[in-house]
Structure 1
Amino acid sequence: MFFEHVYDKSLSQASYVIGCQAQGVAMVIDPKRDVDTYLTIAKQNNLHITHITETHIHADFLSGSRELASLTGAQLYLSDEGGKDWQYQFPHEGLHHGDKIQVGNLTFEILHTGGHTPESISFLLTDNPASTQPVMIFTGDFVFVGDIGRPDLLEKAAGIAGTQEQGARQMYASIKQFAALPDFVQVWPGHGAGSACGKSLGAVPSSTVGYEKIRNWAFQYPKDEEGFVDNLLEGQPEPPTYFAMMKHLNKVDRPLLIEVPKPKKLSKSDLQTAYHDGVTIIDTRHKTTFAKAHLPGSLNIQGNNSFSTWMGWVMNYESPFILVASEEHMEDLTRKLMRIGLDNILGYISSIDDLNITLESADIITLQEFESYIGKENVQIVDVRSENEYRANHIEGADHVFVGTLPENLHKIDQKKQIVIYCQSGDRATIAQSILAKNGFENVKNFSGGMKAWLAKNENL
């Protein structure tokens, strides 16, 4: 048996290539949209991709299943569970609980494991030449290492009222089914630590059924469904705004993107025209570089592993945008954007110098200066971290406005006062400061040391 775990750190998302080497065929589970990765793996291992499947209609990334199928001729096998409202709206081979997919000498049994979403399924793998017992289960967003999938996304992100409690009760039934599997079965989930699809995902890429029954909190409620439901729904992180768009695009027939785009490097005049026309500028440089000098109105979303998530939070999918990024980083950034369907890149520039545009700087303050603002009536201190982080601890007197929802909550920021913002260690505060500046807030200071610096000093007192 051939097996490869493909992991996208930017979205903490896992996909899998599982093949029968004897017959030279393979199946891909939950492919990301830049599918050249799987074509390379198959070619290097003398495999032909014949089967493509998904564990559910994804909300956190744009699936590459149809792109991969168009390039390989492979058959799409997708869930037909969950009822008519949860069906894929393009041609596929429908899967139901108990169905089996044969990939050479490998057998994948379909388990309907609803809860995260009504149509969610898992794939129980038996490597027939080696054993008559199942050896692996691919759980998608059902069971993670140390956690389980959240059932509230349909309600919070897609606006489908009344689905989160129903999903939680479906999840309770599904984990009982999971717990009946042999303890030795390996668990390969769809996400790892850092994903917004759960609240306490582990960093280890895989586990076993037996280990999860011991350490995963969800299996500690054998006869307490109400306690399980309450615990599952409590404390889930804010779902990024782009999740609703992903849920839609992954369900419907849409245009395909079968290769990684190569955005245009813009000339000085191209940039000036677009800039004066109001096209959004995304500056992907490091926060300290951005703070020293940047184009007025540009947003600082650093090109790190969180780039695609924050772009999904703040960008309008209908609006074009320009990146400030080095040429050598453009392929990586483009891949991160295409994985969430942000294809409307007008182009990029490598330098902001010599554009005949007066640059601005951001006002970054030290811990000592930050302390001088605490308690003053003419100062509003704003914590832009998540609600869970704010509840856990925050600086006394600070208001809470999460950076991801800041554009919709600008009315909560008092322009008549000196604004001082902070997050955990500066990245999110930099995004927030650039959003405020773009929206006309001039009197904003950024305590970039954030709670990390604040706690470090106070722990030493």
Structure 2
Amino acid sequence: MLLERIYDEDLAQASYFIGCQRKGEAVVVDARRDISPYLELAAANGMRIVAVTETHIHADYLSGTRELAAATGAEMYVSGEGGTHWQYRFEAHRLHDGDTVALGNITLKAVHTPGHTPEHLSFLVTDGAFSKDPGYLLSGDFVFSGDLGRPDLLDEAAGGVDTRFEGARQICRSLQQKFLTLPDHIAVYPGHGSGSACGKALGALPSTTVGYERLCSWWGPYLAANDEQGFVDDLLNGQPDAHAYFGRMKRENRQGPAVMGERPELEELTADDVARGLEETGITFVDTRPHTAVHAGTVAGSVNIPAGNKTASFGAWAVDPETDSRPLVLLAADAAAAREMWDHLVRVGIDKVAGYTTSLEGLPSYNPQRILPEDLAGFDAALVLDVRNKTEHIDGHIPGSSQLSAGRVLWNQDQLPAGGSIVTYCQSGVRNSVAASTLRRAGFDVVELEGSYAGWKQWKDAQEA
């Protein structure tokens, strides 16, 4: 059996390629939409992808199940559990608790493990060439290394009302009735790692075991003491902010994400092309440089989505394709860099990219306004806004500031003053630059705090020394 983990550092998301060498067939679990890694793995190992499936209706990224099936002709399998309200709305084979997907010597057995979502499945994997018993569990967003999937996302992102409490109780029962009934040696491969917003304290290890989690998890003592209420309270306490785009991901993943097919190469645009698009407000210009470079000068009306490991996350904070149909123009070093960024963006459903340019020369310039920490007290701000997570704000913040995380500002403009200057900050400046550029594009007068909270704290400590 071949088992490969394909990990996306951007969204801290893991998908899995499982293949039977004897038969030359493979299944992919929880695929993302830029599908080349799976096609390359199949080609390198002389395999055909014959099945694609997923653990649940995802909230943090757009599923690649339909994209990969369209490209390979593979059969699609999705959960049929969770009740009528949580059914997928596209054609695919429905899996229920105990159902199997077989390819060659390998069997994936669906295990209904609700809590994170009502329809959630985990998959027990058996390598029949080695043993008649399962050896692996693909746990999706149920059990992570050192943590559990959060049960509050339906409230936070899908319009639910107090579903978190029943979700937490369901996770407790899923642990008792499904997870802890498995042998200790079962290797557990979760759907996310450290940095994901699908839990509050995910470990960075790519896998764990049933036995290790049984002995060392934070939740073990609650279950041993049969303390369901203590478990629920601890699980729900301190969960990070849910990004606003999660609601869009839920809707699109349940409906069935659009199939893009083979994407053409991006066109390199001239300065005249870009300037014309900006003048006609027909494009959104994306400055992909670090915030320090952006502060030295950028394109008027642009948004800052730094290239790198968090492009998809930052892009989904700054661009809402449901309300803004303008295609993006990317600032990129070359065609390969532009394509890589586009690959990240399609993972969160930002598909419309008109092309790229390699320079700011000839484009309307703008220098983002900033303020030093020592000048903040005397500045007439309509609002000082902390765009970090609420847990960070609780741990320490600038007195008098309000909190609204960077992943939520675009969707909560009614919480912001209609007039006057808004001073924004995060921890170091990266998230702040994304949020500030997004708000400026929406028409707000935004001033960024130089050095953000870390800079303000250093200045404050020096004053008190």
Q: Could you state the TM-score of these two structures normalised by the residue count of structure 2?
A: 0.91
Q: Secondary structure at the match of 1:250?
A: helix
Q: Which moved more, 1:424-433 or 1:199-208?
A: 424-433
Q: Please provide the CA RMSD for this pair.
A: 2.3
The one-letter code sitting in structure 1 at the alignment partner of 2:250 is: K
2:291 equivalent in structure 1? 287
- The 5 Å alignment of 1:77-88 reads 77-88=77-88
Q: Secondary structure at the match of 2:27?
A: strand
What per-residue deviation string (whole Å, max 9, x for no partner) do you get for residues 21-73 of structure 1?
A: 12211111111111121111011111121221111111111111122112222
Task: Verify the 8 A CA contact 1:429 1:448 in the aligned structure 2.
Answer: no
Task: Verify the 8 A CA contact 1:425 1:453 in the aligned structure 2.
Answer: no
Q: Secondary structure at the match of 1:403?
A: coil
> How far off its partner does 1:79 sit?
1.0
d(CA) in 2 for partners of 1:62 and 1:42? 22
Query: CA separation of 1:449/1:412 partners in 2, compared to 1, >3 Å: closer, same or farther?
Result: closer
1:378 equivalent in structure 2? 380
d(CA) in 2 for partners of 1:236 and 1:227? 16
- The 5 Å alignment of 1:33-432 reads 33-176=33-176, 177-222=178-223, 223-278=226-281, 279-318=283-322, 319-320=325-326, 321-327=328-334, 328-355=336-363, 357=364, 359-364=365-370, 369-374=372-377, 376=378, 378-379=380-381, 380-407=383-410, 408-409=412-413, 412-413=416-417, 415-416=419-420, 419-432=422-435
d(CA) in 1 for partners of 2:200 and 2:58? 17
Query: CA separation of 1:254/1:414 partners in 2, compared to 1, >3 Å: closer, same or farther?
Result: closer
> How far off its partner does 1:364 sit?
4.3
d(CA) in 2 for partners of 1:6 and 1:68? 14
The one-letter code sitting in structure 2 at the alignment partner of 1:166 is: E
d(CA) in 1 for partners of 2:459 and 2:128? 55
d(CA) in 1 for partners of 2:455 and 2:16? 37
Runs (5+) with no aligned partner, structure 2: none
Q: Could you state the TM-score of these two structures normalised by the residue count of structure 1?
A: 0.92
Task: Verify the 8 A CA contact 2:387 2:404 in the aligned structure 1.
Answer: yes
Task: Verify the 8 A CA contact 1:430 1:446 in the aligned structure 2.
Answer: no
Percent identity reads 42
Task: Verify the 8 A CA contact 1:415 1:443 in the aligned structure 2.
Answer: no
Task: Verify the 8 A CA contact 2:398 2:453 in the aligned structure 1.
Answer: no
d(CA) in 1 for partners of 2:297 and 2:25? 53
Q: Secondary structure at the match of 1:27?
A: strand
The one-letter code sitting in structure 1 at the alignment partner of 2:149 is: G
Q: Secondary structure at the match of 1:227?
A: helix
> How far off its partner does 1:349 sit?
2.0
d(CA) in 2 for partners of 1:410 and 1:91? 39
The one-letter code sitting in structure 2 at the alignment partner of 1:291 is: H
Query: CA separation of 1:64/1:433 partners in 2, compared to 1, >3 Å: closer, same or farther?
Result: closer
Runs (5+) with no aligned partner, structure 1: none
What per-residue deviation string (whole Å, max 9, x for no partner) do you get for residues 227-258 of structure 1?
A: 11122222212222221221122222453113
d(CA) in 1 for partners of 2:440 and 2:71? 45
d(CA) in 1 for partners of 2:183 and 2:333? 51
The one-letter code sitting in structure 2 at the alignment partner of 1:150 is: R
Q: Which moved more, 1:332-341 or 1:404-413?
A: 404-413
